[in-house]
Amino acid sequence: MLIYGVSNSSLLTYLYYVDYTLSTIQSLTYPTGTVVDPSNYLAIVEEDWLYIRQLKSSNHTVSGGNLEYVYQILLDTIID
């Protein structure tokens, strides 16, 4: 489960692994190094994948397009 939002121009993120079989929840470390502009940011969790994209922003210039990251969530851990 991913919860994120912007407060005072800072990105707030909460990432959890939920085990429905054992009825447990575990907090995971979110890769905050991917954040350039919190107001123009997309993050999606699908199955065991975390997709992050820095949307078009005047705060940075990247040749070739916007920054994208994909992480695999494996064994309750984020894998680069």
- Token pair, residue 39, equals 């107001």
Residue-level pLDDT at 76: 58
Which helix H or strand E contains 39, and what residues bound it?
none
Which structural domain range is residue 59 located in? Answer: 2-79
Residue 33: strand, helix, or coil: helix
Give start and end residues of each alpha helix (H) in the chain.
none
Q: DSSP letter at 34?
A: G
**Alpha-carbon gap, residue 47 to 32, rounded angstroms:** 20
Q: How many domains does the chain have?
A: 1
pLDDT at residue number 18: 85
**Residue with more model confidence, 63 or 55:** 55
Cα–Cα distance for residue pair 43/29, rounded to 1 Å:
14
Find where tokens 């929840």 sit. Answer: 25
Tens digit of pLDDT for each residue in 5-57?
Answer: 888 878 888 999 888 889 999 898 888 877 777 888 889 998 889 998 888 76
User: What is the model's pLDDT at position 78?
Assistant: 66
